[in-house]
Each structure stands twice: as C-alpha cells, then as structure tokens.
Amino acid sequence: MSSDERPYVHSEDGGPDPETFCGHGRGGMGEEVKRKEDQRFITGRGNYVDDIKKPGMLHCEIVRSPHAHARIENIDKSRALDVDGVVAVLTADDLLEHGLATMPTLMSDTQDVLVNDKVKFQSQEVAAVIATDRYTAKDGAQKVVVDYDVLDPVVDPKKALEDDAPLIRDDIEGKEDNHCLDWETGDEEATAKVFDEADVTVKEQMLYQRLHPAPIETCGAVGDYDPGKDKLTVHMTSQAPHIHRTLFSMVAGIPEHKIRIISPDVGGGFGNKVPIYPGYVVAAAASVVLEKPVKWVEERSENIQTTGFARDYDMTGEIAATEDGEILAVRTDVLANHGAYNAVAQPSNFPAGFFNIFTGSYDIETAYGSLTAAYTNTAPGGVAYRCSFRVTEAVYLIERMVKVLADELGMDPAEIRRKNFIPAEKFPYESPTGWNYDSGDYEKALDLALEMADYDAYREEQQRRIDEDADKLLGIGISSFTEIVGAGPGKTCDIAGVEMFDSAEIRVNPTGSAVVRVGVQTQGQGHETTFAQIVAEELGMDVEDITVEHGDTDNDPYGLGTYGSRSTPVAGAAAAVAARKVREKAKTIAANELEASEDDVTWDRQSGEFHVVGAPERSVTITEIAAGAYMNHPAGEEPGLEAVDYYDPPEMTYPFGSYIVIVEVDRETGEVEFEKFVAVDDCGNRINPMIIEGQIHGGLAQGIGTAMMEHVTYDDNGNVTGGDFMNYLLPTSMEIPEFETGYTVTPSPHHPIGAKGVGESPTVGSPPAIVNAVVDAMSHAGISHIEMPMTPDRVWEKLDEAGLAIDPADHLDFEFEAAGSGETADD
C-alpha cells in the first residue's frame, strides 16, 4: 500500500505512528506548535466587537424590566427624548412597523425582541435608547418611564406545573398551563421488567443547578446599514456567523446576500454566543431605521441575568443490578427549567439534546429516560455550556449513580466500573437508547488514571484516617465518562432547518503559501493554528506558510459554527478532505513538472513530496509546484490550486476519559481542598498536544467552578440573586489545584484524520468526579449525595447529618483566668 493510501494507524503505546504523521518538523499533526493567534492577543492587538468604531456611530442602551412577571400598562418616552444627545427611543410598536417585534428561537418558539404586553423574566428587554454616546444612552434609559401591573412570578419548575400556578405564556393561543414539552427515550416496558426482577436497585435525586457560561467578553453587536449598497453589516459576538445571518434574514425579511455578519475576535463563548439575543436585533434594526451605525454592548449583570443559561436539570436516577455489581438497567426522570421561552440551543430534533447518552460508558441491557420541561419566570436558555447538548447532565447522572451503586454493594468504585465497561472489542457499539459509539478502550484509560493517582495507596490512607478519627477526611472520586460531539449527520441534526455540516476552502497561492477559510468560529480554541496544522500535514507544507481565516460570511464558506466540540470533528474533517482534493490536483501538476506519467507519481507523507516511483531523487513539493498551477498548468486542467469541501459527518464522535479526584474534607469547617487531580482523556488522534493541554486545564477549572461555587439563584419574587460577579462566584487561580494529565489514543474509525474533539470533555467529566470524591469522604457514614455547588456550609451540614462534624468549640480546651476573677474558660 502506498503511503498516500495508508489509513491512520497507531503504535502499541497509544501514540501516533511516526509513519503516518508527527515529527516531520513542518508543524503538522502531533507537533506542539505555538498558537499563531497569541501574538496579537498577548500584545493587546485583538479586535473585539467593542473595539469596532464607525464614523457617526450611535450607541444603544436597553431598558429592562425590574420585575419578573408584570403587564406593561404604558411606556413614556418623552423625558428620555428630552435628554440632549438621545436620538431615538424604540419600543415594540416601533419594531412592529418593520416586522421585527419578535424573533424565532432555535427551538421554534417565538421570543419578544422588545416587550409591549407582558414581561416574563427580570431584566427582560422593554425599550431601547439610541444616543450619540454610551453614557448619554444610559442617562436616557433611566428617563424612560414604564408603568407595570406586577403579577405573581413562579421560578421553580415544580411549582410552575401546579394547577394554580400563574400562567406565563398566555401569548400562546390556547395555552392554559406552564408545561413546555415532554420527551422520552429507550424501552420503558423492558426497563421496568428488569427493575422488577433485579437483585438490587438504587435511586438518587440530584439537581444540576442553573449555571452561566460567563465568558470574559459579554455579548454585543454593531449594526451598520449602508443605504447606498442596501446592505446590512453586523459585527457581532457570534459562535455561528452563517446561521446567524440566516436567522437575521428570517427575522428581517432581508435577502441573505444583503446581510454580512462579521464575527471578529471573540473573548470566549462556551455556548453563550450561539443564540440570537434581542440586543443584536435592536442594534441592526436601529441602524436600518436611522441609517447610521449602532453599537450595543451589554454589561456583566445583563449578560448573567438575561443571556442563555446552562443546565437547570432536576434529575432522578435509578440503577438495577445484580448482587455482584453487574448493571442491568438504568432509568431516569428529569424536570427541566426552560425559562420564559423555549430557547434551548441544540439541534431541532433533540428537545433534550443528547441527554439519551445517560447510559454512559457501560454495557447495559436496557434503559429508559423521560423528561418534562416547564416554563418559568426566569431567563430563557439551556445552552450547551462547554458541552455537547445536555451530555454534561447525562454524564453527571450516570457517574453519580454508579458511585451510589458501588456504596450500596460495598464495592470499589473502580472495580464496579471495570466490571461494566463496554469491552473494546464490542465497538462500534449501539447503546440501548440508540447511539452508535465509534470506538473506545475505557479500561485502558481508567488503568492509566489509577496508576497516575496512586489509587491503592490513597485508599489505604483513607481508611487510616477513618480508623484514627482524623480531623480531615479523605475522599476519592472517579468519573469514567463518554461524550458525544461533532453534531451531524445533517439528516438528523439541524438548526432552524439548516443541516449541521461544516466547511473548509483551501487556496494555494502561486508563491506556495496557502489560505484556509472555514465555516466555524474560534472563541479561543486555537483554530488558526490547529487547522493550519491539519492542512500542513495533508499537503506537506510548513505550518507558517498557511493562514486560516474565519468569521466573515462574505468571504468564508457556509458552516454551522463552533459549539458542542464541532470544530475538529466536522470542520477539521472538511479541512482534511479539502486538502486531499488539493493534493490530488497537485499530483497531476507534479507529474507535469516531473515529466512523468501521473500513475508513476506518488505522495510521501513523511517527506511531504511527490516523487517518481523508483526514482525518489526526482521529487517536488506542493510549494515548489504551486506556480505551475497558475503559469504552467497541464493541458486539459483548469488553472489554480484550490478546493472546497462541505463535510457532513456520517456519525458523531465519542471522546472519553477517566478522571480521579482526591480531596481532604475538613470536619470542622466543611472546607474541601484538592489533594490530587488526575485527568486522562482520549480524543482520538491529537493535532496539537500543547493546545489540547490548555483546553483540558481550562475545562477542568470550569468543572471546579460548577462543583464548588457557581449557581444562578432567584428569590421568590423572581429577582436574580446571583446576577453579578459579587454573587456569582467563579474560580480563580487560588481555587485551582495542579492538574496531572494523561492520555490514550483511540482513533475514530470514520473520521478522516481519526480525531474526536476534546475542548468540552474536562467540563463534562470533572463535576461528577469532584462530587464523588466529597461524597466518598463521608460515604462510610451513610452519606450518598451532596448537591452542587458544594459550598463549605453545605458540606458541613452533611458532615453534621452523618455525625462526622467537629464542633469548633471542642478545640477551645485551653484555660485562661479572667482578670481578677479566677474563672476558667469552662466557667
């Protein structure tokens, strides 16, 4: 088999086989290439939406409701319009004239852009003030007088489904309750039968609390309508510029070729910048109406209180098993809080996202899951916060339940996992809920993690502390997770009807450099480096000679954007396939340059050269023959050296890993300290190990925030009590331990470069490992669960419940004499 036909294979140690890629010295796949984009970022030369300045640009400030549920009786603009510098005050009535009063969500609901009848959550958009500068716009917004008839709100989804609950969506014809949707998967009857006959069943209720992705850059847009060209350009914080252009066209009725979306540098997204927000629409609409550029950039509190949240799943999990720990069936029931609108950001055909991967890494006979979603007077959302569409909730459920089962049976949590893993030889594997896992070797990843964690020694230390009644307990938590990423195929996955393919276009210039344009949008993942490495690998070019461009719908091929770890599994595949198309044409040009038959010319990946079979000294690189594509192209061939590929994945990819967390739990204060944190990931073939490492570190930090600190909370009046960084706590370097990372390599058999995606795995896998560790410190005393975030007070309450807490007064055993009294502390 020639080297250009050889599939990707791997050496026995799990690393990339040097005969296929890695180590060429050109910056191809497997090499630790420094990120190209970091030069501008670390020198302050990034270009973000708030950096966009246009001549005559106006500024937009949104007037927001202080109430979670209230009817609007009147909106008085007059005082705001009297403010010097205020150009316009827009309400829903103004937008209605242009057909822009409402907008579709990603799940076929309709959301108000500005409200003129009833607000449904605190800080919902009511009016927009347009002024000559941002401070004047704020002054004007404070002058808008809105008369409200305040209604009773409901923020708890359980209470929202009660018969006497206030009706939230009376804008939906015939709606008489707050029920949003139902969903189910698996075989209910078969699962119930297994549970009825099982030796052992366990059950646990757990809340995956409402979180906010909290990117460092908030959302914003600059609408810029050019009446001369009759074209609207919108610079916006978008993870999916092309689908946003399509949605803008659907909302405004403007043909897509008259709309240009530019997504410049994006300061983090994590799913928060996938939906369309009213501020985007208002900035664009105001620019069209006023024929001037209009900028809208939200403040931090607005970002947390009103943009897409994540999680908020109240889950009940059950496992049926044999006495020796074989898992027979899993059952789950979920109550989902969808907020005031059904605006979850996920493929149209999956109202519960990919939650039906809740059987995890285990070979299980049957399973059944059901979900009910409710409307509440809270911000809408349900974004895929650094996860692939509810996979995080599913992984949390199954990994917590396996720990519950292990404790019930008195089995080691590592051994019960090993006993139930899907065997490596059973891949590809169809789960009982219908997912087709591509490849995996779960036991290998767990074994490596156990070795790195020195697991047996810590188990001994844990028992010693229990025996000696130590002040600090030791807990060991494991999570062996499987994720599902790379959303497609298009026939089953779409957003607003657009199939979830992605794209890449490659053009090799006459001088031998190349431009790669992709349909996905980076928010810190390193696309400008990793996509260049993929193309460098496939074309034998130096990575420094390749430029990657993205984020401009006028110049880049149509794609569905970056979220759910789609970049490498879908757009990375498109880049590889497009590069192979370029290479195929280059082979024809090489034959012409080498004056040989095309059948006698072969491509050598290791050297990055075309050479004549039997005469390796007669060779050329793509860089060397690029000019020939434009100046000396073979007869019958078109000039140029370029290709485009729209890649619709045949299946999704399934990265996996095993994480082990070891914690100390202080019995006196409830504080949790990380003793050791081991993360072993398998993302298939690795493009840039250094970037992978950075992605894992960032995801683990977010997982720690989820488990220990973060929660968007509401009071009974619907006020957001965790709506800013004073009350919504994020982890800093002070809370983050040293991470010990490892990896195995199990390529995806259907992916062009065998890659699976990794950016979200650490956020998915770490919370259950952390919770399992803290629970494990107390499980010998009968504790089976602690809700996230595991703040010291919550942990101490569980310690006290189990009789493990130490009263601080017990340490005041010293004596002192009060002056002149002779009394002791005991007195």
The residues carrying an active-site annotation are 239, 386-387, 760
Sequence-distant (6+) residues with CB within 8 A of 595 are none
Q: 544 in helix, strand or coil?
A: helix
The pair of structure tokens assigned to 415 is 């051994």
* 316-to-186, 334, 720 alpha-carbon distances in Å: 16, 6, 26
DSSP annotation string for 405-465: HHHHHT--HHHHHHHHBPPGGG-SEE-TTS-EE----HHHHHHHHHHHHTHHHHHHHHHHH
Task: Determine which helix (DSSP H) or strand (DSSP E) holds 590, and give its type and residue range.
Answer: helix 573-594
* 801-to-667, 672, 707, 786, 793 alpha-carbon distances in Å: 12, 17, 20, 11, 12
Amino acid identity at 736: I
Place of tokens 């995801």: 699
Other residues' Cβ atoms within 10 Å of the Cβ of residue 113: 23
CA distance 184 to 180: 14
- Tell me which long-range contacts 1-10 makes (C-beta under 8 A, separation of at least 24): 2/602, 2/603, 3/602, 3/603, 3/604, 3/605, 3/606, 4/583, 4/602, 4/603, 4/604, 4/605, 6/605, 8/685, 8/747, 8/753, 8/754, 10/685, 10/745, 10/747
Strands 366-374 and 327-337: parallel
CA distance 771 to 741: 19
* 283-to-53, 66, 176, 236, 756 alpha-carbon distances in Å: 14, 22, 35, 10, 38
The pair of structure tokens assigned to 306 is 């009103």
- Tell me which long-range contacts 32-40 makes (C-beta under 8 A, separation of at least 24): 32/688, 32/689, 32/690, 33/529, 33/533, 33/543, 33/688, 33/690, 34/529, 34/690, 35/526, 35/528, 35/529, 35/691, 36/528, 36/529, 36/532, 36/548, 37/522, 37/526, 37/528, 37/529, 40/265
The pair of structure tokens assigned to 626 is 């690029």
From the number of C-beta atoms within 10 Å of its C-beta (0-12, 13-18, 19+), residue 46 rates as middle
Amino acid identity at 242: H
